[in-house]
Structure formats: structure tokens, C-alpha cells
Amino acid sequence: MTQVQVRDAVLAIIADIAMDQDVTGLNDELALREQLDLDSMDFLDIVMELKKRHKIDVPQEDYTKLATLKSCVDYLTPKFKQ
């Protein structure tokens, strides 16, 4: 998948988890938790949806690599290609 496709996949998951949030105007460089009202359970739901929808495991020690939309795309793009 391209980085644009990975970004869209991540946004689709976030939109499903944070249904009352507008994800269309997210800044790729800012922390997702600062832009959206996400708590730790929402974050875990996002990680679980990555596994469920795309068979991507994110180990707990890599959670910090999912802080921003850009870091999510950078971290996940190679995993989508596996």
C-alpha cells in the first residue's frame, strides 16, 4: 500500500473509534490525542482494529510510534507491505 492508502486506512479506523470527531482536518504532525478526545481505551481500540482489519500487530513498546498521523503512516506502511 502507498502512504496515502495507509493514511486513509488509519483515518478510517480512527473515524470508527472516535465517531463524534471530525478526522478530515487532522494535522499529520500533531499528536492524535491532542487533536482528538482519545483516551487510552480508544488508543487500544485503534491498535486492535489494525490487527483485526489488516492483520498488523503493534507491540506495546511501539505504541509511541503511533503518536501522530505521520508517525503512524511511517511506522505502518512497511507492515502493510508484508
What domains can you pick out in the chain, each with its CATH number? 3-80 (1.10.1200.10)
Mean pLDDT of the 58-67 span: 96
pLDDT in tens, 11-32: 999 999 988 888 989 999 999 9
pTM over 0.85, yes/no:
yes
Q: Hey, how many other C-beta atoms are within 10 angstroms of the C-beta on 74? A: 14
User: How many Cα atoms within 13 Å fall on the side-chain side of residue 20?
Assistant: 3
Main-chain phi, psi angles of 53, to 5 degrees: -85, -35
pLDDT, greater one: 80 or 29? 29
Report yes or no: 69 and 6 within 8 Å, Cβ to Cβ: no
Give the phi and the psi of residue 31 in degrees, each rounded to 5.
-60, 135
